[in-house]
Amino acid sequence: VSPQVNDAQSTVSVEFTPTIPHCSMATLIGLSIKVKLLRSLPERFKLDVHITPGTHASEHAVNKQLADKERVAAALENSHLLEVVNQCLSARS
């Protein structure tokens, strides 16, 4: 994970690399990162979460989904998916 923060412009950009080029969890990982940032940062920040270029077979499609505010909002309205994201973000002892 490679974050870049520009406080003056209120932007945060996070680039992440899935474990394998055909990782089926890439969208869930990206969504979890985005949700964690949404919950942690002030609302003024514009978020950009994307896959490291050239590291995933469906990089363009996943990046498009993560950049689409309506798709992200719809995903977070799905109670099952939100539960999975919350499990990804929960601290484990």
Average pLDDT, integer, range 9-25: 95
Position 58 scores a pLDDT of: 95
Residue 93 has pLDDT above 90, yes or no: no
Position 92 scores a pLDDT of: 67
> What residues make up the domain containing 69?
2-89
C-alpha–C-alpha distance, residues 55 and 63, integer Å:
12
Instruction: Work out the number of other CB atoms within 10 angstroms of the CB of residue 56.
Output: 23
| Amino acid making up residue 48 | D
Whether the Cβ atoms of residue 81 and residue 75 lie closer than 8 Å to each other: yes
Count of structural domains, the chain: 1
Q: List Cα–Cα distances, 61 to 9, 10, 26, 51, 58, in angstroms.
A: 27, 26, 11, 10, 5
Residue 79 has pLDDT above 90, yes or no: yes
Residue 12 belongs to domain with CATH number: 3.30.300
Q: What is the mean pLDDT of the chain?
A: 94
pLDDT more than 90, % of the chain:
94
